[in-house]
Structure 1
Amino acid sequence: MRGVAEGGPAVARTRAAVRGRDQELTALRTALAPDGGRLIVLTGPAGIGRTALLDRVARLLAADGARVLPLRLGTGPDGGGDPYALAALVRAVRERFEQLQESGLSEALSAVAQLRDARGRERGGWTPAVVAALDGLFETVGRRERVALLVDDAHAVAEPAPVLSAARRAGCLVVATCEEGAERGPGLAELLTDADRVMTIGPLADDVALSLVRRAAGARLDESVVTALRTALGPLLGNPGTVLGTLDALRRSGRLVTFEGRLCLSDPAEPVALPADHPLLRRASALGGTAVRLLGAVALLDGLDLDALPPLADILEADPVDCGRGLDLLIEAGVLTAGPDGRISCRCPALAATAAGRFRARRGTALHAALAERLLAGHRRSGGVDPVVLADHVARGGATVRLDDDTVRLLLTMGAAAEQEEPERATLWYSAALRRLPPTGPEHARTLCRLLLLVVRTGRYELLREPLTRYAEHGCAEESVDEIRLAAILLALHSGVPPAERAVRELLDAPFPGRGPTAFSEWWFDRRLAPDPRRHPATDGDTLAGAGAGAGAGAGAGVDTQAGAEPRGWAEVTAEAGALAGDGAETPAGGKASVGGGAGAGDRAGAGARNGTASGDGTRGGAGRSDLLSAALCGDVAACERVWRSSGGAAPSPELDRLRQAALVADMADVARLVIGADYRVPETGVLGAYHRVVRGYADADWTRAMSAVRELELSPAEDTLARHAARLLAVDMCAARGEFGQAARWLTAATRAPRLAVLRTWARVGLAARKGDDGQAVRVALLAGPRLRRAGLRTGLSILLSRALRIAVLGDDHEGAAELLAEIELLPHEHHVDAQESLLLARGLVHRDPECAREATDLIRERGDLPALMESCLAVARFAPDPRPWLREAHALATRCGAAALLERVREVTRERGVPAPRARGRRDALAVTEQRIIELIGEGLTNRQIALRLRLSEKTVENYLTRLFARTGCRSRVELAAASLTGRLARTPT
């Protein structure tokens, strides 16, 4: 499910550019109010919106009855031959000659023109004749009405003050703009000194700047684009020219693609760069070649310590004094910044990305390596080099840096000292030392263990690529195979990309002892990575098969088994669960289920994650953590509890229940956090980071964030993984709840039918059927799938699936179906499962119409933080509660927060049925309701009123009534105008 490149015209200047300038406009009105001549100068950096603000002032003055004479400098054919702006003035008056219509104007204008010609020929200075001619011209122009002279880019001419001062002497209002940071010659200094008031235009507030971005996008913008712009531009986000120019550069480069109705970044991990012609880059170029090379070096190095300036000057073949002066000029120009510690950095990441991109022939690693070599040479000669700076450049310089034994020992010693306070640096230093240690030696094994621990703490999984490549080339010690395999699993989990080396692929293909024949590669990638496995010379078959041998100890089979029952074979479970995952298996017509032999049903990551050494000491030992991780991701509830108890954990406990919930939706980041503890950092990027945002956004009812993360996963270069398929199933539920049934069906089709996700897939199918209005089909699917899943041992999340179906049965008055589902829920073990106890309480409360029992269950759901389940539960309880209003209010609030139009309609149905006032969303009165917003969005997609009614399950008349109210409220006169107003940001935003 990939996007297509989005083309479009360049971002145009629009009136929206003055949004957020109320304070400046108020100050200008006050400054221009007094009678007589006034000279106001507006200053601000390039792109800040000076011209747009000046245009707004022109409209305000014209509305007040003033004659507006605009003067744009630096744009005419005169170039540098018009130092006093006389030519520009003559052109401006001639263009408005008919509107001015003053007697004597022709003669006054001719006098200035003649003097202009004379000045051009003689290149002389300012003369009294010029002053008199200008005074005569402006007195003639302003004889009957007040005249406003609006001068844009006054810095573009050498001497702007004489013309502007003459206009003020004649009683004109003069407003001029000039660029902040422009070269300040005597003429510009005179203007600023002579002005009655100088106003600085500051950056826009972030929300205003981002509203401009949404308006300029011309389509519904995915929130990931907004987040990427905010991160990349940093302090430049409030500059309208910069943010709109960067958006346009993304569009022109093909980085913006349309995917599932949103404008998204094609590769979210790639940096966002400033346009090549950005004023800051032009300013750097104007400072000369040394400054340009310094800027590129700072960008490639991700910052520069002043200790590294002398060797950097040597690399750049420049004089150190010139380099120091160049850095000062770049800082003065606002291109670079200096931190409190003296470290030099680029103004923002987007600037660094563009500057670094100009020097691709010399990558950052090569520059670090060159600096490291020179710093090492100086350190060996005389010392005095900051060891932290030295170690940083050595670590970032890659394999080309030549290290002796003393330097390797220095890196190991500094890494050990920095583990607690600076784990990021320690990770880099250990990684650099590891590449110089013999791969079969004991020091390599110890360092690899420390590196794995730090990678888990810092999230720097990309640092594991090099040890894996070296393993493929040179092998490793027998005692290091487990750690190498763990490194391969961690990297594959977080990157979503299979390793390139065959030997590493074979590690991921090897079966996990105690978990049947399925390998990690089958579980995560749904396929084997090396179809024709061969022994690698670095390891023998016994060593490879024994990798992670402790993982299966005490964990049992990869599925749940009843006490005293014979464990079912993995192949048997896979066959039955594969049938459950198929969309045709649960059809009410009794169609025969096709048995799928989908590989990758069981989790094997935990066995590979036997990080007894790499995860450090804790209350749960390394082998226990590994067993627990494996059991949780396999859905082995009984094994989870056994390992949890044996390692000292309490059962039941909130942590154990959160572990099962994370395992249900395959949220490996949360599972790892719960198992490993504080040592594990949930990554912000990569496959697991994005998928974790999907899960949290869904549970928190922040579906805009969740769907954005789903699209990020789809557009990333990673392969289809278990996390991507699970994200698609959550997307099914969100789209169905919003009434986007076509998109929901596409997401369901794209999701794998792997048995590992059979429960989650059935849960999504049940929800989709109910949202489409077929409650009976939803209940039948659950009743057919529940027993099969239970018999197959796939019990993790089964109570949540059955509980959802029971809520749907209650809403649809299917008492028989609700009773059958209650019976199924009662067959599940409950004594140690908080989630199952919650489901049982809710089921009994709904079936027996017991409000107190239902209230206790919803309190448990609320405590668990599953807001979508809480929304559905409140709606079901409202069917029979003595006072349905608080239940309906909560359901309505959550549905509004999610943007769930289909569920809002169910709320309205129950409201009408119970005969109580309709709940209303809290917030601004003029904010668009969710249904109104959906109607506008569907109009933008080209749907007719009838099609919209079918999509939202409304009557056509209801859609017409909504439109009538929208026309009255917004001032729009047609459906097309309404859709256009929404796209341009003129309507109040609501959840998307």
Structure 2
Amino acid sequence: MTSGPAPDTARNAAVLDQIVPSVVAGTAPPLVVLAGPAGAGRSTVLDQVGEGLRARGVRTRTIRCSPPPFASPLHTMLKPVLRADVAALLIDDVQWLDQRSLEALEVLVRTARAAGLTCVCTAGPPAPAQGRAALRRLREEGLATVLGLRPLGMADVAALTTRAFQARPDRRLVARLRHRTAGNQAALHGALAEYGRTGAIRVLAGGAFLDATEGEPDLPEQHQLVTAVRRLGADVWRVAKATAVLHPLGAALPELAGTAVTTDLAVVRHALDMLVDREVLRRTRHGWRFRVEMVASAIVAQLGPYERRHLAGTAITALWNGTAACDDPAYRADQLAGAGKLVDTRRSCAELLAHADTASAAPGSRHWLRAAANLVADPVERAVLLARYAFACFRHGAYADSVATATALLDDHADHLRDDARDELSHLLVLATHGIGDTHPETPDPAPHEVIGAATALLALDRPDDCLTLLRRAGTSHVRHLVEAQAHLYRGDRARFDAAVGAAARQAAGRVEIAQLRLLPALVAGDADDAEKGLIAESVPADRLAIPYQAVLLLQRNRFSHGAELAHQAVASGAVAGADPACTVVYQWLAHAVLARGDLASARALLVAARTARAALPHLLDATEAVIDIALGNLEQARTRLRDGLSTAALAGVVLGTDQLLVQLAEVEFLLGNTAGARSCSAEATRIAEKAGGVGVGHLVAQAVVAHDGALASSATRLAVERGQPLELAAAVGRLASHGLAPDEAVADAYELLDDLDALLYRAWLRNVMRERNIRVPGRARTVVENERLLAGLVADGLSNRELATVLAASEKSVEGRLGRLFTRTGYQSRVALATAVHSGEYQPEGGLGR
């Protein structure tokens, strides 16, 4: 993460544009006041005003005011300033001036115009009464104006986050930072520092994403917004701590806070008034709210264990007896978890479980399950709840907690678990172990209760034959059938897969894991229609599925923006367990997506990340990486990679997904002049696909290319249109068009479908075809911007001129000319400077969306 002074935000620039030119031109009133709450960046803007004025030849002098007891009387400092013939007097934090100094400042302002002087001041809370009165008089006489510093907007937050992490922030990350900081500049800088320090922001494929698996960090204890509250005195601090927990309870807050901290109601109200006056709190018709959410959470983080339980118990008691109300169920659940055994444990446990069931997708739900388990005395019931907690941890990517809990249950509480529950936990333990990056140890001769876990471990190592052999020793349970089904799927046997899934469903209908397994063939094949049928068959809502499944379904349903965000979030947060093939598919889709926009380096980085995470079926990653090789013109490397992937799969006895490699190998062999080899690969790919469930777009494209068959090409195009997946359609049409097998209207339609996906590279490839065929390319201005952005991105990836020419299907001479024009337009003098600007987000061509 980078550090240093922040660049001008859009807000700062607007304020500077109001002040600096008017002071230079002599049209500003004698007094300009920059107002804003603590942390709004008043001093920063004042310094920028000074820099702007001095750059235009205006003489300035700056005075910094300090709070008592360090305040310096302003009236003793004005005469030297005026004798120095200053044209602009900059005064920071005038709220700390005493009455005599305020009077002197008012006199100065009244004489400033005649002296050719402008005063620019910053003012924050608390505003003294005499200062408000003086300002009111001056404004009424036209001698003063007040400019309020607005909170940072979404664009400002995005820009500052980009600079901090040298990566483009995810839209949801920007929204979350804006919400938690309320656009307060000091809070945002503190948040970015803490998010970076704790690893809560992960950088992936040029983007920055929030990883809230372990919760979001708070502002540090010594942050200026927190220490400002502490400095208000012991009574105010005690009330502030109670308020940080209890403020969602609205108008009941004063009485509840008074009870919680055992102090007089008048003391509480005085403290609340002071917090409002200092703009820590905002008074609303419903009660009180912290202006900056992160200040509240930072104060809560400083509570001792007993304080936290006591305040949570106060909140729950008030909610239960009706003396307070809150519409946020998550707040209620959090307070139940915090109160622990200070309140009725039976009622608390029931409510926590109800909240966890209702909001199972919320990250906090796993903590509610753990809290509920801690309230239960019966060992059997407690074991059941801890098992639910272990599964919830796995769902939300908290694999270490899942491993620890499952291990403890199997080692110490096995007597309190049913046989099927032990099998489920053994299965989970293997998957969670892979999730934290470890390989579960192989068990040579497992005991009967260890068979499911041992079989799952073999499957996680891509050894389906050994898995099936071991499963012959397992009893009948839905987990056994699930593992068996996945092993048959790996071997490419769709009939046996369907039979095993059906057996699992008969024993445990409606289980999410059964629905997910039924979806796997469709996810690997990219068949959205088949995926829909699988969901319908199991009657499981899509939002109950694990995040990788949700992400791929959204991508396949052509909800590309949402799906890509969810997929990036899942990968960045680690919510993808290597043993689950759906996670491999997520990496594949993301790599294809960033490749489509021309970011070859990020596409490769994603594939490296997948291998590091020990993704299942690694040969699928070879298929995706071969696409990058082909884009760079490395056909021999692509052939070697594809053959190696097929050999790896064959040695493991895995067939699933090998048709994807064969389809690509067929086309590579054809391009290299090996027509017989191309036909053989295409035929084998078709055979595998038919046994696995059906022939897809890629198979038809390969057949059409190898045979130069227009009818097959039409079938491939028609199927791609029916599936409605823009990247697949564009890739298919582009490949067919390069062999003269795609009609003009198909090319134009594919180009239009890519309009909203920012697929710069795929659109550039299709434009080449369109120009060759004299097909009109719409939007000349947008085309220019897209070409510039694509070229800049490829340069940032470190491609040579020769590689650029290959990727762009242009001559090296043409590339040299385009690079020269790019450097001229942007003002960057070298590839290094341009690459730095691209990666930092500084480079933004007019009309561009960023990389």
Which TM class, normalised by the smaller chain length?
Answer: 0.7 to 0.9
Look up the match of 2:683.
Answer: 823
SS in 2 for 1:274: coil
Does residue 1:41 correspond to 2:43, yes or no?
Answer: no
Q: Name the CA distance, whole Å, in 2 between partners of 1:720 and 1:678.
A: 24
- 1:179 matched to 2:179? The reply is no
Alignment pair present for 1:500 and 2:393: no
Q: 1:337 to 1:725 in 2, by over 3 A?
A: farther
The residue identity in structure 2 corresponding to 1:752 is R
Say yes or no: does 1:289 pair with 2:150: no
Distance 1:490 1:857 in 2: 42
Name the CA shift for 1:815/1:924 in 2 (closer, same or farther; >3 Å): closer
Distance change in 2, residues 1:529/1:871 (3 Å) = same
Change (3 A) 1:330 1:365: same
Q: Aligned partner of 1:335: which letter?
A: V
Shift of 1:170: 1.0
Structure 1 residue 973 corresponds to structure 2 residue 835 = no
CA distance in 2, matches of 1:873, 1:666: 15
- Residue 346 of structure 1, aligned match among 287, 290, 295: 290
Q: Secondary structure at the match of 1:662?
A: helix
Partner of 1:987: 844
Paired with 1:175 and 1:58, the residues of 2 have a C-alpha distance of 11
1:81-104: per-residue Cα shift (whole Å, max 9, x none)? Answer: 3143x41x345456xx4xx5xxxx
* TM-score, scaled to structure 1: 0.64
Unaligned runs of 5+ residues in structure 2 are: none
> Contact 1:739 / 1:902 at 8 angstroms: preserved in 2?
no
CA distance in 2, matches of 1:818, 1:778: 14
Distance 1:849 1:322, change over 3 A: farther
Q: Quick one: which of 600, 616, 620 aligns to 1:739?
A: 600
Which range moves more in the overlay, 692-701 or 278-287?
692-701
Shift of residue 353, structure 1, vs aligned partner: 2.7
Equivalent pairs counted in the alignment come to 808
Tell me the residue number matched to 2:150: 202
Query: Aligned in 2, Cα 1:974/1:574: closer, same or farther, shift over 3 Å?
Result: closer
1:498 positional shift: 1.3
Deviations along 1:717-752, one digit per CA (max 9) or x if unpaired, are x97553666655556656766332863663364253
Residues 887 and 234 of structure 1, relative CA distance in 2, 3 Å threshold: same
- Secondary structure in 1 aligned to 2:336? helix
How far did residue 397 of structure 1 move? 4.0
1:934 maps to 793
Question: What does residue 523 of structure 2 align with?
Answer: 662
Partner letter of residue 504 of structure 1?
A: L
Question: Given the superposition, is the C-alpha separation of residues 257 and 338 from structure 1 closer, same or farther in structure 2, using an over 3 Å criterion?
Answer: same
> Paired residue for 2:350?
430
Whether 1:313 aligns to 2:255 is no
> Which of 617, 620, 627 lines up with 1:760 in the alignment?
620
Cα 1:810–1:318 shift into 2, 3 Å: farther
After superposition, residues 434-445 of structure 1 pair within 5 angstroms as: none
Shift of 1:194: 0.4
Does residue 1:74 correspond to 2:65, yes or no? Answer: yes
- Residue 105 of structure 1 is matched in structure 2 by none
Match of 2:106 among 147, 162, 181: 162
User: What is the aligned partner in structure 2 of residue 424 from structure 1?
Assistant: none
Matched, 1:221 2:167: yes
Q: Note the 1:223-622 alignment, pairs <5 A.
A: 223-224=169-170, 227-228=172-173, 230-234=175-179, 236-251=181-196, 269-274=214-219, 276=221, 280-300=225-245, 303-307=248-252, 309-337=254-282, 342=286, 344-362=288-306, 364-365=308-309, 367-369=311-313, 372=316, 395-397=336-338, 399-401=340-342, 403=344, 408=346, 411=347, 430=350, 432=352, 454=358, 456=360, 460-465=365-370, 474-476=379-381, 488-494=390-396, 495-496=398-399, 497-500=402-405, 502=407, 504-505=409-410, 519-523=427-431, 525-526=433-434, 528=440, 578=463
Whole-angstrom distance in 2 between the partners of 1:575 and 1:48: 52
C-alpha distance 248-789 of structure 1, shift in aligned 2 (>3 A) = closer
Query: Contact between 1:775 and 1:812, CA under 8 Å: does it hold in 2?
Result: yes
Match of 1:681 in 2: 543
| Equivalent residue number for residue 879 of structure 1 | 738
Instruction: Quickly say closer, same or farther: Cα 1:221–1:23, change in 2 above 3 A.
Output: same
Report if the CA contact (8 A) 2:194-2:217 is conserved. no
Maintained 8 Å contact 1:763/1:801:
yes
* Alpha-carbon spacing, 1:676–1:946, altered in 2? closer, same or farther (3 Å): same
1:759 CA drift (Å): 6.0
Instruction: Tell me the distance in 2 between the aligned counterparts of 1:19 and 1:659.
Output: 48
Residue 12 (structure 1) aligned to one of 5, 18, 33: 5
SS in structure 2 at match of 1:304? helix
Deviation readout 1:735-786 (Å, 9 max, x if unpaired): 76633286366336425374xx256345335435434534466467768977
**1:872 CA displacement:** 1.4
Partners of 1:533 and 1:783 in 2: how far apart? 35
Aligned equivalents of 1:952, 1:599: Cα separation in 2? 51
1:546, 1:597 → 2: CA distance? 9
Structure 1 unaligned residues grouped into runs of 5+: 1-5, 101-140, 142-146, 412-427, 435-449, 536-540, 548-569, 580-594, 611-622
Where 1:177 maps in the other structure, the secondary structure is: strand
- Residue 403 of structure 2 aligns to a residue whose secondary structure is coil
SS of structure 1 residue aligned to 2:131:
helix
Taking the aligned partners of 1:531 and 1:345, their CA distance within structure 2 comes to 56
- Spell out, residue by residue over 1:589-634, the C-alpha distance to the aligned partner (whole angstroms, 9 max, x if none): xxxxxx99999999x9x96689xxxxxxxxxxxx9x9999999999
Q: CA offset at residue 874 of structure 1? A: 1.9
Which structure's residues are more often helix, by fraction?
A: 2
Provide the secondary structure at the position in 2 that maps to 1:81.
Answer: coil
Supply the distance in 2 between the matched residues of 1:392 and 1:918 (Cα, whole angstroms).
56
- In 2: Cα distance, 1:517 partner to 1:275 partner: 38
State the superposition RMSD in angstroms. 6.0
Structure 1 letter corresponding to 2:73:
D
Q: Which moved more, 1:904-913 or 1:770-779?
A: 904-913
Instruction: Give the Cα–Cα distance (whole angstroms) in 1 for the partners of residues 68 and 648 of structure 2.
Output: 82
What's the CA shift for 1:327? 3.1
Amino acid at match of 1:12: P
2:343 and 2:618 map into 1 onto residues whose CA distance is: 53
> Offset at 1:873?
0.7
Residues 263 and 759 of structure 1, relative CA distance in 2, 3 Å threshold? closer
| 182, 190, 200: which one aligns with 2:134 | 190
Give the percent of matched residue pairs that are identical in Structure 1 and Structure 2.
19
Structure 1 pair 739–820 and aligned structure 2 pair: CA distance change class (3 A):
same
SS in 1 for 2:65: coil
- Cα distance, 1:309 vs structure 2: 5.0
**Contact persistence 2:607–2:621 (CA under 8 A):** no
Please state how far the C-alpha of 1:338 moved relative to its aligned partner: 5.8
Asked if structure 2 preserves the Cα contact closer than 8 Å seen for 1:779 and 1:805, the reply is yes
- CA–CA separation in structure 2 for the residues paired with 1:501 and 1:573: 19
Residues 91 and 456 from structure 1, CA distance in 2 versus in 1: closer, same or farther, beyond 3 angstroms?
same
Distance, in Å, in 2 between the alignment partners of 1:510 and 1:457 is: 26
On the 8 A contact 1:294/1:327 being kept in 2, the answer is yes
2 CA distance for matches of 1:965 and 1:319? 73
Cα distance in 1 between the residues matched to 2:261 and 2:828: 61
> Secondary structure of the residue that 2:829 maps to in structure 1?
coil
3-state DSSP class of the match of 2:35?
A: strand
Contact between 2:633 and 2:807, CA under 8 Å: does it hold in 1? Answer: no
CA offsets 1:436-488 (integer angstroms, 9 cap, x no match): xxxxxxxxxxxxxx7885465767244334566799982359xx97x986664
Q: Name the amino acid aligned to 1:186.
A: Q
In 1, Cα distance between equivalents of 2:261 and 2:675: 80
